[in-house]
Amino acid sequence: MEGCRVNIVFDLDGTLIDSAPDLQTAVNLMLEGEGKPPLDLPTITSFIGNGLPKLVERSLDARGISQSRYPQLCDTVRDFYSAAPADLTRPYPGVTEALRALKAAGHRLGVCTNKPEEPALLVLHLLGLGGFFDVVVGGDTLERKKPDPEPLEHVFAALGDGARLYVGDSEVDAETARRTGVRFALFTEGYRKQPVAALPHDWRFAEFDALPGIVAALSQTAPA
């Protein structure tokens, strides 16, 4: 391989996959059961990023449902979601091709998501992406979740030696990369809430076909 190997870790929701529509379905099925009106897609999208429990908590607040119902309704949403995590969810354009190119170039790939591990593995499998990744850590795999550095450090440690790049779309991801001390490539078309300039990043891209070039540049400059 030209240059050094790069270990590339990806966020999942809003980075590799556009998963908001299936999360919306799961939340709205729960709300329907509670006799509450559904939430629209932009609202649900703005609630994604800190894990499924937080999505449910924010949804209950938005519809004035008592948080005392939270543990039960969290399980309800999780069950609805796990039953159909890839009905409407798709990888962003060019994701599969970019992952294939990065693997072919000899790099190692992982996932660090706040989505619970079980549905994360399932959705990766259903979308044909599971085979690309050596390590997948979800929001409930370890004690702490992003933006705590623990899960991202764990994935990089499991991937072994190499330069380190984290790829994500959100404020949580930018903060996680900063706290972990790794380079960050921002996918600008995901679920971020603030302008691109407000999220610290080393590179940014809007199309996945740009990612192999970013990795090649890092692999040339980073010490082996």
Least distance (Å) between residue 114 CB and ligand PGA: 4
Q: Is 134 an annotated catalytic residue?
A: no
51 lines the binding site for ligand PGA (CB under 6 A) = yes
Q: Is 149 in the site for ligand PGA (CB under 6 A)?
A: no
- Which one, of 157, 177, 154, 150, lies nearest residue 165 by Cα? 177
Instruction: Return the amino acid letter for 26.
Output: A
The yes or no reply on residue 113 touching ligand PGA (CB under 6 A) is yes
Q: Counting contacts by CB under 6 A, is residue 163 touching ligand PGA?
A: no
Q: Show the tokens assigned to 152.
A: 């991202």
Could you give the CA distance from residue 172 to residue 201 in angstroms, rounded to a whole number? Answer: 12
| 40 labelled binding-site residue | no
Would you say 107 or 192 has its CB closer to ligand PGA? 192
25 vs 219, beta carbon nearer ligand PGA: 25
Q: Are 76 and 33 in contact (CB under 8 A)?
A: yes
Strands (E) in the chain, as ranges, are 6-10, 17-18, 90-91, 108-112, 135-137, 163-168, 183-187, 203-205
Does 180 participate in binding ligand PGA (rule CB under 6 A)? no
| Paired tokens of 42 | 């932009």
* Residue 148 marked ligand-binding: no
- The span of 26-34, 43-51, 80-88, 151-159 binding ligand PGA (CB under 6 A) equals 43-51
Select the span of 8-16, 80-88, 94-102, 181-189 touching ligand PGA (CB under 6 A).
8-16
Burial 117-146 (b: 16+ CB within 10 A, else e): bebbbbbbeebebeebbebbbbbbbeeebb
Nearer to ligand PGA, 141 or 219 (CB): 141
7 binds ligand PGA (CB under 6 A): no
Compute φ and ψ for 97, nearest 5 degrees: -65, -40
Opening angle at CA 176, ends 112 and 151, nearest 5: 40
Candidates 6, 8, 14, 156: give the one binding ligand PGA (CB under 6 A): 14
Q: In this complex, which beta carbon is closest to ligand PGA, that of residue 5 or of residue 27?
A: 27
Q: Can you tell me the distance from the alpha carbon of 49 to that of 38, in angstroms, rounded to the nearest whole number? A: 20
11 is an interface residue for ligand PGA by CB under 6 A:
yes
DSSP secondary structure code for residue 144 in this structure: -
Enumerate the known binding-site residues: 11, 13, 169
Show which residues are catalytic: 11
Which residues of the chain form contacts with ligand PGA (CB under 6 A)? Answer: 11-14, 48-52, 55, 113-115, 146, 170
